[in-house]
Structure 1
Amino acid sequence: MDRIAIESFLARLRGLKALVVGDLMLDEYVWGRTERISPEAPVQVVDVVRQDLRLGGAGNVVNNLVALGCSIEVAGALGDDADGRSLRAMLEAAGIGIDGLVFAPGRTTSRKTRILASNQQMLRIDRESKDFIGADLETQLAERIRALADGCQVILVSDYLKGVLTEGLLREVFAIGRAAGIPVVVDPKGSDYRKYLGATLLTPNRKEAQTASGIAITDEASLCRAGRALRDTLRLEALVLTRSEEGMSLFLADGREVHLPTEAREVFDVSGAGDTVLALLGIGLGAGLSVELAAKVANLAAGIVVAKVGTSTVSPDEILDVAGRRHADTDLKIKGRDLLGRVLERERERGKRIVFTNGCFDLLHVGHVKYLQKARNLGDLLVLGLNSDASIRRLKGPKRPLIGEEERAHLMAALKCIDYVVIFDEDTPLELISALRPHILVKGGDYAPEGVVGKELVESHGGRVEIIPFVDGKSTTNVIERILERYRDE
């Protein structure tokens, strides 16, 4: 179930660490009003209202990771100038590790100034150096990256062709990633992608893929040819080709191709969307997600970001909100274990009494419904621990369940008496009960309280166990037997 996997991933973000390598720059936004034409030239006059200075380039990848709550180290070359010192101070103030920064005398730190009026960008002014850093700085950076990679789950490479990511440095970065056993994810630039040989995954957009592959992308077929060509030539584990309003396409090492439609509701500004994709894809792979699921999360995040003006970021709550809209009536009730634990902690603080029960609930029948309604009446919230498909097979044999865990979860969440559903994979709910700490533990049937799993745990923090008898003659086994009896001849 993708949304539950996404919830679980987002809940673990604060324990993840990323190393961002690339072209760091400052993004300056000058906001104003324009109501007249200059008497000096046929141009609009902008009356400045406010100014905003942000991390840009690879720094916007850092911004995205900060918004997600990750730990970050950064490596790159800055000019030994006022903007370089300002950029370093901004990173320090945000709690970013800066041991990977080197200063290059005579180099101009990149600064892009955007003039905006009525939410429209009118002009951009760039101040920067584009010359390649020298061999000494390349060696220094490689040594610092090697030291910083230890303890990181992913290396994110953000290339803006400003001269920091030389071919030699890229080779070192890819080798460091392989040696550390962590993915190296690259947002590429330029026409010659041979310098990226050794990366784990690349995230070009349509125009970049066309330029690098030499294949004119005019339709779906030519786009796929370009994606396959780049994946195969560079021997990538995957290539994720972003397609603006059409979503993204994945070209995987096993030959599969997955096309994800856009998640954007409205598009105001695409600047920085590629940085968001790089950040979410990279940290997703670093967390152990499959390429496909990491891309789905990145696609959700990109759809949120392009609806904002200027290079923006996205929060875990925004991602969860969008992920939950596909099943607005039921999906929002289905939670991963970590997230549900935090939700219930807030409910406890509000004085709510939490009731917990668990089961397979394969083939929902009236006995189940009556039981759950009675359980809900014992407190303020009813949490259902639902056995996963794998745990049911271990408990009831290889022919069960008849209905998969995702369908069962949505069926149970559709019941008014159930407030939350959480799937668990263990043979007993003991670990789940320990994590959720309910006030009341409910079991059905002819159990004695002493035989209920989790009884001691619940009672240790002042809770209690309740036994609710099942409705006579109502069981999944009976339903299956009646079906077999009536349709055996057919």
Structure 2
Amino acid sequence: MDRKTIESLFNRVGEIRCLVIGDLMLDEYLWGRAERISPEAPVQVVDILREELRLGGAGNVVNNLVCLGAGVTVCSVVGEDDNGGALLEAFTRQGFATGAIFRDPARRTSRKTRVVAAHQQIVRIDRESREPLSCAIERQVCDWIAANAGGFGVILLSDYLKGVLTPQVIEAVVAAARPAGIPVLVDPKGNDYRRYCGVTILTPNRKEAETASGVAINDLDSLARAADTIMTNAGLEHLLITRSEEGMSLFSRTADPVHIPTVAREVFDVSGAGDTVLASLAIGMAAGLQLSEAAVLANIAGGIAVGKLGTSTVTPAEIINAVALTHSDSDSKIKNRDVLAALIAAERARGKKVVFTNGCFDLLHAGHVKYLQKARSLGDLLVLGLNSDASVRRLKGEKRPLIGEEERAHILAALDCIDYVVLFDEDTPLELITALQPQILVKGGDYTPEGVVGREVVEACGGHVELVTFVDGKSTTGIIERILERYA
């Protein structure tokens, strides 16, 4: 999982439509300080300094998806009480349609009150209903799912065992999603996961996995046994078990387990971290990442969430920064085309003069470096279009390149004179130049201005072509020939 992949994912995340179905609740936080003991009982006295009301349960999943940039619709049931009204008002303020949030006068809307002092929870107070939906309300929910669920890119079931996700509701989701190829992700609860049969993946934590499997998890062998039991009982193809400080483990019927280590960071509060994992995993899957890559994304996001106090959300910038910390500085310069196009447009808008050049740059040598330094001196920043391995093979033969595209990209990105590197797979950089619209297009002195690909595009935007002479006697071919001569 590299930075450019994550940046590109979040660049298109707004196109993803997510449906969240599950138990909505209000999370109330009472923040204060505890500096004395009550004379009435041996308990702390908390002086409340601040109060906060947040969307909890499935609402926290919604918040996470929104913070990640996705479009979200929520389907649930709340009571016709003050808390239910507050939930609907909160969704309305954030611009969400509430037509799929049904109200039941017989239900009590869940509200969890957490008292926090000295950066830790002192006590939690729950007020809620846990009964399954009435038959009439359940039918309304199932009918809405049947009519609408097929139009989403991913469906998330947030189960807190408060009665919304009945077996019939889950069956309705699977029936609507499976024909359309829509992934269904579930944050499960309880000890009987057979009710989730037909979904794409479950995301229990270690304790939940132990409860559901009846297997005490204390090493990788017992973890594998627990996973196999859950997957067999629930008829699953995939299972992601979150393991706190030990990271995550992804199990699939058709692949070996993938154990993803956690990123060391201070843990303040794990409440809501499962919601963050579910949301980020869903975004990754809907964006087309491999399941193992989506799990890595979820692991990074979950690690950020536990470093915050209270049920929290995670932003794309936080995830990108976390990924950047695991790579060298050169990684931050390597971009996918869509991300780079937006960056370059912003640079031009700020009055920056953008220089572009391209090439294979196989076996980097002094001639390359001098050429690139000269190109950079012509403007404010230099973008290098780098031929992919497939492109190099078509241009120079099956034995090239000698250095793979990722290595070439990182070597070039390490040069101070280069601001961005972007790979392209076409035989010429015309599409890339069209997307970036640089003001200066640089090629070697062995070209004529008329023969430079992309000249018309650049000149149409008011730019021009510059030809830079290569250093005599420096070439990749010459290096290869000397190696063969000396070591053949």
TM surpasses 0.5? yes
How far 1:437 moved relative to its partner?
Answer: 1.6
Once the two structures are superposed, the pairs formed by residues 145-160 of structure 1 within 5 Å of their partners are 145-160=145-160
Give distance in 2, aligned partners of 1:479 and 1:147.
Answer: 65
Instruction: Indicate conservation of the 8 Å contact 1:99/1:144, yes or no.
Output: no
Amino acid in structure 2 at the alignment position of 1:389: D
Give 2:324's aligned residue. Answer: 324
Q: Is 1:174 aligned with 2:174?
A: yes
| TM-score (norm: length of structure 1) | 0.97
Alpha carbons of structure 1 residues 403 and 236: separation in structure 2 relative to 1, 3 Å: farther
- 1:239, distance to aligned residue in structure 2 (A): 1.0
Question: What residue is the counterpart of 1:408 in the other structure?
Answer: 408
Tell me the equivalent position of 1:92: 92
1:204 aligns with 2:204: yes
Deviation string 1:134-178 (CA, Å, 9 cap, x unpaired) is 222122111212333243110011110111101111111111111
Partner Cα separation in structure 2 for residue 324 and residue 236 of structure 1: 34
Residue pairs, 1:441-480, within 5 angstroms: 441-480=441-480
Counterpart residue identity of residue 414, structure 1 = A
CA distance in 1, matches of 2:36, 2:347: 56
- Whether contact under 8 Å (1:28, 1:114) holds in the other structure is yes
- Contact between 1:71 and 1:96, CA under 8 Å: does it hold in 2? no
**Is the aligned partner of 1:8 residue 2:8?**
yes
**CA-CA distance at 1:232 after TM superposition:** 4.1
The aligned amino acid for 1:479 is: I
Q: 1:38 is matched by which residue type in structure 2?
A: S
Q: Percent identity?
A: 64
Give the C-alpha shift of residue 357 in structure 1: 0.8
Query: Which residue type is aligned with residue 90 of structure 2?
Result: M
Taking the aligned partners of 2:255 and 2:229, their CA distance within structure 1 comes to 12
Give the AA of the match of 2:301: A
Cα 1:97/1:453, change in 2 over 3 Å: farther
1:29 alignment partner in structure 2: 29
Match of 2:267 in 1: 267
Q: For 1:228-267, what aligned pairs fall within 5 Å after superposition? A: 228-267=228-267
Amino acid at match of 1:385: G
What letter is aligned with 1:190?
Answer: G
CA gap of 1:363–1:236, structure 2 versus 1, over 3 A, is farther
C-alpha contact (below 8 Å) 2:150/2:182 kept by paired residues: no
The CA distance in 2 between the partners of 1:450 and 1:148, in whole Å, is 56
Distance 1:184 1:216 in 2: 27
Looking at structure 1, the residues matched to 424 and 229 of structure 2 have their Cα atoms a distance apart, in angstroms, of: 42
The CA distance in 2 between the partners of 1:14 and 1:277, in whole Å, is 19
Partner of 2:41: 41
5+ unaligned residues in a row in structure 1: which ranges?
none
Deviation at residue 228 of structure 1 after TM alignment: 3.0
Q: For 1:330-409, what aligned pairs fall within 5 Å after superposition?
A: 330-409=330-409
Q: Which residue of 2 aligns with 1:314?
A: 314
Task: Give unmatched runs, 5+ long, in structure 2.
Answer: none
Would you say 1:161 and 2:161 are equivalent positions?
A: yes
Q: Aligned in 2, Cα 1:467/1:231: closer, same or farther, shift over 3 Å?
A: farther
Deviations 1:438-480 (A, max 9, x none): 1111112411111211111111111111111222232222222
Distance 1:96 1:391, change over 3 A: farther
- For 2:177, the aligned partner's letter is G
Number of aligned positions between the proteins: 488
Residue aligned with 2:467, SS: strand
Q: Deviations over 1:241-278 (max 9, x none)?
A: 11111110111231311111102421111111110010
Task: Please give the alpha-carbon distance, in whole angstroms, between the structure 2 residues aligned to 1:445 and 1:403.
Answer: 25
| CA distance in structure 1 between the aligned counterparts of 2:2 and 2:253, rounded to whole angstroms | 21
Deviation digits for residues 383-441 of structure 1, max 9, x if unmatched?
A: 11112222222322332222121111110011111111112222221221122121111
Mapped contact 2:149–2:173 kept (Cα < 8 A) = no
Q: What is the identity, as a one-letter code, of the residue corresponding to 1:411? A: I
Structure-1 residue corresponding to 2:120:
120
* C-alpha distance in structure 2 between counterparts of 1:232 and 1:373, whole Å: 60
**What SS is found at the alignment partner of 1:45?**
strand
Distance 1:143 1:435, change over 3 A: same
Counterparts of 1:230 and 1:443, CA distance in 2? 60
User: Would you say 1:76 and 2:76 are equivalent positions?
Assistant: yes
CA drift of 1:69 comes to: 1.5
d(CA) in 2 for partners of 1:151 and 1:118?
46
Higher mean displacement: 418-427 or 364-373: 418-427
Contact 1:149 1:180 in 2 (8 A): no
**Residue 485 of structure 1 aligns to a residue in which SS?**
helix
Q: Which amino acid aligns with 1:313?
A: T
Q: 1:2 to 1:328 in 2, by over 3 A?
A: closer
Conservation of the 8 A alpha-carbon contact between 1:61 and 1:278: yes
Q: Which residue matches 1:282?
A: 282
The equivalent of 2:109 in structure 1 is 109
CA contact (8 A) 1:238 1:291 kept: no
Note the 1:294-305 alignment, pairs <5 A.
Answer: 294-305=294-305
Worse overlay, 267-276 or 393-402:
393-402
Hey, which bits of structure 1, 4+ residues long, moved more than 6 A? none
Deviates more, 1:95-104 or 1:405-414: 95-104
How far residue 328 of structure 1 moved from its aligned partner, in angstroms, is 3.5
Provide the residue aligned with 2:60 in structure 1.
60
